[in-house]
Amino acid sequence: MTEESMLGDLTGAVTDARYRASFGRVAGYLPKDRRAVDAWLADLADRAQARTGPHSPAVAAMEKLIETDRNTRSLVAGTLEQLPRALQPIQGVGHLLQCVDQIITTAPEYRAKSEERILFPLSALFANLALTKAGESLLRTPAFNSALQQVLREWCVFLDSPASRSVLTEADNGWLSPHSVERHRLDDYEIPDRGAEHWGFASFNDFFHRKLKPGARPVSTDPTAVLAPSDGTLVRHERKVGKNAGFTLKGQTFSLAETLNNSSYTDRFVGGDVLQLVLPATGYHRWHAPVDGVVRHVEVVPGLVFGTAELDGSGPVPQGVSFGGAAASSTRALVFIESTAPRIGMVCLAAVGIGEISSVTPVVREDQEVRKGDELGYFSYGGSTHFMAFEPGSDVEPTVEPSEDVDPEDDPQVATNAPLANAG
């Protein structure tokens, strides 16, 4: 295939459809227009090329893998060769590694204009690479995926460090700027010390999973209501979900049993309903109990950083940033709560980390009693979505209509602790 014909394939409707279907785009972590990502990539490539000094430990380990593992080396080379220069301004393996270094030693800057926000930088870096056959295979390869996980863990360490606070300023591109304060309603949150540098936040992640002030999200007293575990937008409601036949989200099918990690409780949810809630990109990232009850089981299921899944009519897309398959292949915390309301029964909240960090931290334990609104856990920086599974007979009826897209400039459909659905 000539570069011209390949370029036509990769810049046409298929490419745009894949980008529009990505989790980062749908959830508002990446710009609506893919050309904004291309412009960001060109700037990243220039900044990365100017870097000097050794690689970070995780990037050095990735470099060693590429050098010593024949299959990985072949796939990386093939990925870069198969992608036309117009779609990826990366000049070789060394340059690619410099780009990864650049990303994981910086924190995301704030941008007032949504079309300029790149909140999933690694997803943006791999967005075009994953369009090639070699790129698809590379991101599925366990060895390379493991190397990516090391890279992301290293970035998470950086985002937990004081060095990441450089973007926590009141400048126009700072997360404490007047525009950000108004956009994110930061007055609703506990601020360590507004008069101090960086407002007293210890790190970027400390800011990202900031806590609400008491009473900022009042807990609904409606006895029939299932509450929203977080601020978010309902994107799907599926009924009569099968155990292994799967259910469909954004055109992709995945198994309830896989999503629940083949838990012994899985059979209780067969034939019931599933709701999916997407959290706003830069909003509140702690999650709360949707029902009164007792926690029967808690576990964190590790998953892939990036992989692939099939979209109807559009071929493979980067799994790590897509809706479908996300619950079954991404890192997730599963919290099974036996509701005190007989009409509801057991509810499973799957808190799914998507993309960059995929870090989920539950704060409850088995046999713990919880009341509606009690904190269950939190996400560190990265994409996030919730799946809630219900037993058949709970007659779940959402209080809002599912939305097919999420505009980052719109407020979430539902607020934490507000009614998301009625049951019984």
DSSP code, position 375: E
Alpha carbon distance, N-terminus to C-terminus of the chain: 59
pLDDT tens digits, 102-150 = 999 999 999 888 888 888 888 888 877 887 889 888 988 889 988 998 9
Residue 233 contacts residue 277 (beta carbons within 8 Å) = yes
Which pLDDT does position 328 carry in this prediction? 55
∠ Cα 313 76 329 (to 5°): 50
pLDDT-derived band at 29 (thresholds 50, 70, 90) equals: confident
Alpha helices (H) in 30-176, listed in sequence order: 34-49, 57-68, 70-82, 93-104, 121-127, 133-140, 142-159
How is residue 96 written in tokens? 């690619």
Specify the CATH number for 225-422; select among 2.70.70, 1.10.101, 3.90.79, 3.30.70: 2.70.70
Q: Indicate yes or no: pTM above 0.75.
A: yes
> CA-CA distance, 350 to 334, in Å (whole number)?
5
pLDDT tens digits, 43-84 = 999 999 999 889 999 999 999 999 999 999 999 999 998 887
Q: What are the structural domain ranges in the chain?
A: 3-161, 163-202, 225-422
pLDDT tens digits, 293-348 = 999 999 999 876 654 433 233 333 333 333 344 555 678 899 999 999 988 999 99
- Find all residues with CB under 8 Å of 120, minimum gap 6, and list them: 24, 29, 30, 321, 355, 356, 383
Mean of pLDDT values over 348-362: 82
Nearest in space to 247 (alpha carbons), one of 234, 260, 232: 260
